Amino acid sequence: MKKILIIGESCRDIFIYCDTQRLAPDIPVPVLKVRKKTQNPGMARNVERNVKALHKLCDIVTNNNWRAITKTRFMHEKTPQAFFRVDTENRMPRADVRKIPLKKYDIIGVSDYNKGFLTKEDIRYVCEHHPCVFVDTKKPVGRFLEGAKYIKINKFEYEHSLPIPRDIGRKIICTRGGGGVSFRGKTYPVSLVEVKDVAGAGDSFFAALLVRYAETQNIEEAIVFANLCASQVVKKKGVSVITRPKASANSAKQN
């Protein structure tokens, strides 16, 4: 079994589910009544826990203060509607990527939320010192990614990175929500499902992409598998952990 390493910043995701039946009399905002509260490891640690749900050999390099860094979402209890989000402003330390034993791992997954844990130079270093680096980044795509094997971004991130050099563009796996996934001019469709929450869907897609590529070394099969897994999580409220789709269970056992 191949070893996977996740590198990136982490936080705690907090979901506060509320109901509302009236507006405040003094200002035109809804009065929220809290029904329940949930929390889970977020960002890179969410990628890690999704990888580990399918694949045993996974380590992570992340910020030690991740529990103090929170994203708190106030959500409507019965619909996907979000009222607002509150983020803490704790200091994000920078990673020392030169101390990471990259060669110990078969696949590196860089989960970069552009919060200061990884600079462009750090990501460039990782890509130049390992032959199989997948990058999921919130930074605009640029030459610092030319050493990456594959680059996973969403439609918004893609459009805000234009123009993209052709050689780097061939590495991009672009998720487009209900529009499927684009890779090298081909669209990989997704099944239409009832979407209850898109939080964590990108992390789940990235985690499943890493796992299936580790099993097959086939990027097209990995994209199809990641689509199936991401379709699971959007059907549930909050951030959930993926399970292996039945269609791929038997083939996984053969690898």
Please, what sign has the CA dihedral across residues 123, 148, 154, 10? negative
**Crossing angle of helices 219-233 and 246-254, rounded to 10°:** 140
What pTM was estimated for this model as a whole?
A: 0.89
Q: In this prediction, what percent of the chain has a pLDDT beyond 90?
A: 74
Decide yes or no: CATH 3.30.565.10 for domain 4-10+44-67+97-241: no
Nearest partner of 214 among 153, 149, 126, 137, judged by Cα: 149
User: 3-state DSSP call for residue 222?
Assistant: helix
Interhelix angle 201-216/44-54, rounded to 10 degrees, is 40
Position 251 pLDDT exceeds 50: no
Residues 154-203: pLDDT tens digits?
999 999 999 999 999 999 999 998 889 999 999 998 876 555 556 668 89
